[in-house]
A and B are shown apart, each in its own frame.
Chain A
């Protein structure tokens, strides 16, 4: 028995050593960057372009490998904080503060300024997505905002007129009722919806239309305990629970199961006419091109009052603990290059990260897809014109607010749809929960407390000026929505400088 134990131990030790010495990384003499992202042809092509970009500039070669098994934010966080994070990783909209606050993102401010991939190289609206407390933590792979995709065949099939480029909530409701009624005969299970579920996005769009955002100007307090939010919640309840223009989360899951697909079911159902519209960014082209020729149009999201749409980016960041910081920074710099931006333009992904490439022929008139030209024009023009980034308060993580299912915004929305919370109470409940989170975070972190106290004083000054009807210095406002709204209303003392 003892011999067996020792033999097993020795064999396992030798096998481990052999595995270590023969692993593929040891065969490669160039630095290897691991990139947590999806595996798709676009990423493969990005890596090939990066290698040739390095070669063209006479830089030493770098190997980039995709890790698609660790995309879950929890895994990225746990691995990063344990010191074994990937060198590069995609960061999605709800993760920026989580990762930047933890310190696991490489601060690239100086390299970015020196190599030309600072915030000024991309859209001004994305400033808050890549810069936190004055420090830059990455660069966008793409940029854009959700627009309404219209399946023209579906509208024609049910004899419903298509909306114009700019349309209101009332028009949305009116057209939606017509289409859903025509497409779902009485006594049958509903199979066709006007638009896919967008409860994560829509409240913000609607609130902003009424001049309301989740936070105040300095992002020190939640402002949803406001009658305008009640109006939004009522309208959403009507659209989802009463008129069934939009499926609930569970209905969406059912539709996904019907499609027999996961991940790209929206597009499949849109192509099949079960969603008459989609609210999604330009990258839908990547999926829709594979589903055959479709007669589609793109219009801006329905807006009443203040015209707006969310704009955001797919951020690429480097790990603070990377063994190859120089090469990681080179990869970020490569994102501003012409080959990469033209790749984004022709692939059907969102807008190229460098704005000038969204004005090129390659973007506006892709030769293989003349049917998309009108849509490309809409994307290139609308997102920079009315796009406003998410409000990211330093005092509460976006994930806590917007995370699917468990985010406060989603939970309150679900409670309203389930009839457990009256729309009139939703704003009060949500504001109380978010303010409690802010208070908790501020109490726990002295640095944050100082910042908070300063901003509360600024907020008081803003409130005092607004009470007198006087304009406010732009530098006082940190919430991107309020900057845009104040500017549109003429309430700013000066233009924002980013």
Chain B
């Protein structure tokens, strides 16, 4: 190829690339660099704009210092992390959905079983109708019929319908789904509460008929379960330490998974935040200290972060689980009194304490059938069938097949999904808050991204908003780095 021809080809290539390069420069790189610069200035829309040309001042790390002393920043950061508590469940849900869809595709011959299941659901709906009357049970009947119809149609279409339905939230416009959920969550007229109301009435009657079971039973059972789980985690941590499978950082992370629910439980009991934090810190420190004093079978490992990835992943499951049990401990004694007046369905978006869980449920709905499910479907299809055949020959159970073949083979996919989920989780919450709650009530659904919008576009402090954005970036970057550092080991294994 002549030089002229090569230059021509290069020119044409660049021409094709130019729109993208220009777009990248204009809308990503330049704003990125500018926002970094702005984070160190006092840039305020109201004073530095087309009409007011006051000098811009470099204020060093002033915006960052102000941010970390802003009392609401910590609340909004907490909100952001709280909403991320749903991530492990979303990932597990995506995997579950992918597994079901894979099986549904193979289960065309099980149409009889599907029909039986559909009939059971329909019969259940009919019973609800007889029990509660059309007004209260209409929603249940509707859901029952819909589920049965979907089930049957899904089996008949070999899973294609399921795939489409599961993926539906991903190609539906975000704001439209938020408006839909807002209607679903309506405390009076929303179908969720309409479906919950007869159940809660029944539950109230049940609680009234045996108050002691809830005053004492529920807290005791919850406390018992929580103790068992906490004990299991403590024993496991010690064993990991003894066998040099966990370094110092891993033990600390594992202890934090126990300390956070303890602190929150104490807070719910009315202990001040500082005291609750201090008490759980002391308990955690004592446990960790005693663990570190134990001698190790294989000698002291130099890798302080050994096993950290596992502990962080486990913490993401343990913390929500222990929090649920802690809620059982706290709510139990007050249930009979609440039941006497009739337990009302929650005011999902209007109640300070329910607004975030309502967001999490909605996110789960969207996340289970999202791109994650598609990635898992792709991952499942790439697992060599010989592995399953070999396992079958060895007499492995379904659970063993999953834990020893499917799960390890899907590790790279899970790793990628968890990284992307953490990134989206930290950046998320803006659209939901803007469309559904405006960040309220009392800031309970304001996440960092919504805080950035408020400061930047409603108050005009662009410099400060940029600083918050860069702190958010640092968080995303730091957590992704940890994910790469500690998560990739499992992938390599």
Contact = CB atoms under 8 A, between A and B. Distances in A.
A81 B458 contact: no
Chain A, interface size: which category?
35 or more
A321 B51 contact: yes
Interface stretch (B41-49, B297-305, B315-323): B41-49
B441 interface: yes
B442 A411 contact: yes
Contact of A78 (B44, B342, B347, B457): B457
B189 A103 contact: no
A189 interface: yes
A444 B46 CA distance: 11
Interface in B35-57: 42, 44-47, 49-52, 54
A420 B441 CA distance: 11
A2 B15 CA distance: 10
Given A98-B460, A101-B46, A254-B189, A249 B441 contact: yes
B352 interface: yes
A28 interface: no
Contact of A403 (B47, B437, B443, B458): B458
A399 B458 contact: yes
Nearest to A255: B188
B350 A444 contact: no
Given A257-B186, A405-B440, A415-B442, A248 B350 contact: yes
B131 to A, nearest CB: 20
A104 interface: yes
| Residue picked from B16, B46, B188, B459, most chain A C-beta under 10 Å | B46
Given A249-B441, A418-B442, A104 B49 contact: yes
A498 interface: no
B459 A250 contact: no
A325 interface: no
B188 A189 contact: yes
Chain B, interface size: which category?
35 or more
Given A74-B457, A411-B440, A420-B352, A254 B42 contact: no
B357 to A, nearest CB: 15
Interface in B180-230: 183, 186-189
B443 A103 contact: no
Interface string A456-477: 0000000000000000000000
Contacts, number: 111
Given A98-B460, A321-B51, A257 B189 contact: yes
A417 B442 CA distance: 9
Nearest to A414: B442
Given A77-B457, A405-B438, A414-B442, A250 B187 contact: yes
A320 interface: yes
A258 B42 contact: no
B439 interface: yes
A418 B351 contact: yes
Interface in B152-200: 183, 186-189
A411 B454 CA distance: 14
A414 B438 contact: no
Contacts of B349: 250, 253
A96 to B, nearest CB: 12
A116 interface: no
Contacts of A368: none
A230 to B, nearest CB: 18
A479 interface: no
Interface string A250-275: 11011001100000000000000000
Contacts of A404: 438
A406 B438 contact: yes
A137 to B, nearest CB: 12
A222 to B, nearest CB: 16
B12 interface: yes
B64 to A, nearest CB: 14
B440 A406 contact: yes
Nearest to B456: A74
Contacts of A410: 440
Given A103-B51, A418-B352, A444 B42 contact: yes
Nearest to A101: B46
Contacts of A73: 458
A418 B441 contact: yes
Given A98-B460, A397-B459, A254 B186 contact: yes
B73 to A, nearest CB: 13
Contacts of A417: 441
A83 B12 CA distance: 37
Nearest to A444: B42
Given A78-B457, A187-B342, A102 B442 contact: no
A69 interface: no
A81 B456 CA distance: 13
Given A83-B50, A406-B438, A254 B187 contact: yes
A270 to B, nearest CB: 18
A40 interface: no
A57 B257 CA distance: 78
Contact of A257 (B42, B46, B52, B188): B188
B440 A414 contact: yes
A61 B200 CA distance: 67
A400 interface: yes
Contact of A103 (B49, B186, B351, B446): B49
Contacts of B351: 250, 418
3 nearest A-B residue pairs (beta carbon) = A250-B350, A103-B51, A418-B352
Given A411-B443, A445-B54, 15 more contacts: A2-B12, A74-B458, A83-B50, A101-B47, A102-B52, A249-B440, A253-B349, A254-B187, A257-B188, A321-B51, A399-B458, A406-B440, A411-B440, A411-B442, A418-B351
16 contacts: A77-B460, A83-B50, A102-B52, A103-B49, A104-B49, A248-B350, A250-B187, A253-B350, A254-B188, A399-B458, A399-B459, A406-B438, A414-B441, A419-B352, A444-B42, A445-B54
